[in-house]
Chain A
Amino acid sequence: MLRLEPRPQASRLMTWLSPLLATVLTLVAGGVLFAVLGRDPVEGLRLFLVAPLKDLYGLSELLLKATPLMLCATGLAIGFRANIWNIGAEGQFMLGAVGATGVALWAGESESALVLPGMLLGGALAGAAWAAIPAWLKTRFNANEILVSLMLVYVAQLLVSWLVFGPWKDPQGFNFPQTVMFADAALLPVLVDGTRLHLGLLFALAALVAAYVFMYRSHAGFRMRVAGEAPDAARYAGFSASRTIWTGLLCGGAAAGVAGMAEVAGPMGQLTDKLGLGYGFAAIIVAFVGRLHPLGIFLASLLMALLYIGGEQVQQYMNLPNSIALVFQGLLLFFLLGADVFIRYRLRFGSEAASA
């Protein structure tokens, strides 16, 4: 007989082994999925996992995709560690794009070196402002931040649509829902010639380092950690609960806003209504697969980016729907949650009395 037995202490090893286990299981399940769909599983997994990495361009695309995931997940992790469940990074990402676009459109053809910093600030502030709504409602009325932040995603989507169909529509754009292309001064410089990889990657890496310092070295980060681990202890020690809520949501909003800015000032070069690619939602998975730790988030965002690109590859070469990437994301989260059981429990064979 197989049974689960509580471990005397949570296993540190399993904490980090569990994402690896989940990744392996996702691949196995993915192979089965390919087989069921009548495709060669080995070829499918090769296209998914190996083909995107075969040259410099492939690698640069991977890092490009990973950039917004890294930024969003880093901001979210700060809140998640304090039990602040911001589910609306997708909306904050869009608002960041809107804020940055506003600055870019206002600057117009200006060649000032201040345009990009202005866009960065605009994006971060707009994202943070969007996250401030659930923060204010939670501290003032104890409204559930999960619901509020999630619902604001759809409001953000409609706001973007209204802007690109209305006031910000490119007059010469043949009625397409998009703004004018940004001027050169409003575009992030490319890091490697011949690729689309841009400065935003450095923003993401800087955010990871800053988050690490904040989480493990600052008193504010310590207080948030206590709030997440043991809310009663935080109250006992006199840590302000509302400050924790504000910090958690504003960090998440600002980071997602920067990601949105990097998207419109990077590969897109304009704002369109096809902005939402689900980075904000995928970042939730990235944050947990990465164990809410900056290094883990770095690795997990690369994995998630690979799933995005792999999805495009199999769509192109195997004639499968693009939603296969979403299926892989779902499988990964599913297996991660399952594998996480073994952090606190272990498998034992035989009955309770016999094994003891």
Chain B
Amino acid sequence: MTTSSPPPTARLALHGIRKVYPGVVANDGIDLSVSPGEIHAVLGENGAGKSTLMKIIYGVTRPSAGEIHWEGQPVTVRDPAHARELGIGMVFQHFSLFETLTVAENVALALPGRPDLRELSRRIEEVSARYGLPVDPRRTVHALSVGERQRVEIVRCLLQQPRLLIMDEPTSVLTPQAVEKLFETLRRLAAEGCSILYISHKLDEIRALCHSATVLRGGRVSGHCRPAEETPASMARMMIGKDLPHCEHSPAQGDGEVRLRLAGLSRASDDPYGVDLRDLHLEVRAGEIVGIAGVSGNGQQELLRAISGEERLAEKHPVQICGTEAGRLSAGARRRLGLCFVPEERLGRGAVPALPLVDNGLLTAARSQGLVRAGFLARGKARAFAERCIAAFDVRGGGADTAAQSLSGGNLQKFIMGREILQAPKLLVAAQPTWGVDVGAAAFIRQAIIDLRNRGCAVLVISEELDELFEICDRIAVIAQGRLSPPRDIGEASMEEIGLWMSGLWPGAETTAPAAAEAAHA
């Protein structure tokens, strides 16, 4: 089934949508149609043009060319308010809620006029009961878990009785159990006639949920399919144009020396809405990869900063790097002990956006690679180092003089990975190493991490992608509400078990009220 004309009953039909941004064609000749009650997947890698297309439908931006038909009538969606008027709702990947307001107040802000809060609370409860989205309208948002916040966003959309609901990567913040709950809700909505556009790059989810799929590659439609009739491999081929690459993973080396030890790490967060770390214990040995799974916002950021030295501790002993008590050392001093670190944010933290790659190589490798002599920069050596990173990690889209910000996310991540790995660290800590990276580059990065381990490095990976952790790790632990579970050998762990642990329920866990509540709702 290709670009045959859609049936006249289509709720939404796009014809030849094209969107040009300065310097890039984000969408080119896109046709798509969604029937009432259909769950339609929009599948594609990062940068394939999914988000641009959704922004066009929701009126955030206007297409350069092409037509939009809404229930048979050609329309120009002026802005999101107009989209909502038409009956289009959208749940964004990044939530837009005010943390200090209650659920009902947040919902009221999105509605026209000045709704009566008591009446609104009643409607929220009604909708949340009907669709299995438990949410208390009186609670303030900052006290809600990420899953609950997403429910607020969905309820907010449903109150406007949309006939088309757009969900942008909705499962990236959910535990596997919470994903199942969400799917039940979406199926119920579809059964009532609501159309759903479901954006994702997770193939098994799309196979489980969606009736049909449009696959995008490089801004164009590369295929349509019925996910239930496809295999993940066949859909991946449509998405990336070749077979899904796989990593070689040999068993861990055995008992190396301990390179990272967390000995009762506790730290109260400086941010009132941050997560306090509570008594974390962990050992990472030379020659192994330890993964930490968890739903985002459960203390990962705080833990990473405490290990990297971006936040110093009051005491020395809770963080030990290569045998040295490093809790009070600066980030620079910890690097000198053999730590290398890949942060989650590439632009602005892992790399300076406006500076060329030569300078971004200097950022962390100046000392270990001897790129500074008597306080002055050794430009020639710095350039050679940057070029080595570019060559060894297949960084495309520019050379050593290209500014970091003009590389794509995946290529910049490869450069940062290369910069940290080529310093031959004793301990590598990587956060979300393949987040937002295309499938090919992700496989390359995973393989590089495994190779590093095979050379005797200790590796700690913190990721929200369970699949990824199961693919590369030797042992896996879970972080939830600022606590860390005991690690488990990957051979003995199952996705279901780790998923359950992600709500804070592991054997011996101190069950606190929010943990239990979260588990019950999850």
Contact = CB atoms under 8 A, between A and B. Distances in A.
A182 to B, nearest CB: 37
Given A218-B375, A222-B362, A356 B350 contact: no
Contacts of A274: none
A259 to B, nearest CB: 26
Given A219-B372, A238-B330, A233 B363 contact: yes
Interface string A218-253: 111010011001101101111110000000000000
Contacts of A229: 352-355
A218 B362 CA distance: 12
Contact of A353 (B23, B62, B310, B362): B62
B332 A233 contact: no
Interface string A165-177: 0000000000000
Nearest to B25: A356
Contacts of A239: 332
Contacts of A295: none
Interface in A206-223: 217-220, 222
A352 B377 CA distance: 45
B310 to A, nearest CB: 5
B246 to A, nearest CB: 32
Contact of B375 (A220, A226, A356): A220
Nearest to B372: A219
Given A9-B405, A233-B350, A219 B377 contact: yes
A356 B341 CA distance: 41
Contacts of A194: none
Contact of A217 (B61, B62, B362, B377): B377
A235 B331 contact: yes
Contacts, number: 83
Nearest to A219: B372
A346 to B, nearest CB: 9
Contact of A235 (B310, B333, B372, B405): B310
A220 B310 CA distance: 19
B334 A238 contact: yes
A219 B375 contact: yes
Contact of B309 (A7, A8, A238): A238
B94 interface: no
A237 B62 contact: no
A168 B340 CA distance: 59
Interface string A32-75: 00000000000000000000000000000000000000000000
B376 A218 contact: yes
Contacts of B366: 219, 222
B406 interface: yes
B334 A9 contact: no
B276 interface: no
Interface string B313-357: 000000000000000001111110000010101001111111100
B77 to A, nearest CB: 12
A10 interface: yes
B294 interface: no
A243 B36 CA distance: 62
B75 to A, nearest CB: 14
Contacts of B61: 352
A5 interface: yes
Given A220-B375, A226-B363, A233 B20 contact: no
Contact of B308 (A7, A218, A236): A236
A222 B371 CA distance: 12
Nearest to B20: A356
A174 to B, nearest CB: 53
Contacts of B375: 218-220
A356 B64 contact: yes
Contacts of A219: 366, 372, 375-377
Contact of A238 (B22, B335, B351, B405): B335
A352 B62 contact: yes
Interface size grouping (class) on chain A: 20 to 34
Contacts of A226: 352, 355, 363
A235 to B, nearest CB: 5
Interface in B33-87: 61-64
A237 B403 contact: no
Interface string A1-31: 0000111111000000000000000000000
B331 A5 contact: no
A8 B20 CA distance: 12
Contact of B352 (A7, A10, A233, A353): A233
Contact of A236 (B62, B349, B376, B405): B349
Interface in A76-119: none
A79 to B, nearest CB: 18
Interface string A320-348: 00000000000000000000000000000
Contacts of A352: 61-62
B364 interface: yes
Given A222-B359, A353-B63, A237 B331 contact: yes
A7 B22 contact: yes
Contacts of B332: 237-240
Interface in A250-291: none
B353 A217 contact: no
Contacts of A218: 375-377
Interface string B386-415: 000000000000000001011000000000
Nearest to B382: A222
B64 A236 contact: no
B446 interface: no
A353 to B, nearest CB: 5
Contacts of B334: 238
A309 B81 CA distance: 58
A232 B348 CA distance: 6
Contacts of B23: 8
| Residue from the set B19, B20, B377 with the largest chain A CB neighbour count within 10 Å | B377
A41 B372 CA distance: 55
Contacts of A240: 330, 332
B353 A236 contact: no
A234 to B, nearest CB: 8
B363 A217 contact: no
Given A217-B377, A230-B351, 15 more contacts: A7-B22, A219-B372, A225-B355, A226-B355, A229-B352, A232-B349, A233-B349, A233-B352, A233-B363, A236-B331, A236-B350, A352-B62, A353-B63, A356-B20, A356-B64
Interface of A: 5-10, 217-220, 222, 225-226, 229-230, 232-233, 235-240, 352-353, 356
Interface of B: 19-24, 61-64, 308-310, 330-335, 341, 343, 345, 348-355, 359, 362-364, 366, 372, 375-377, 403, 405-406
6 nearest CB pairs, A to B: A238-B332, A238-B331, A356-B64, A232-B349, A8-B23, A219-B372
7 contacts: A8-B23, A218-B377, A233-B349, A233-B350, A237-B363, A237-B364, A356-B19
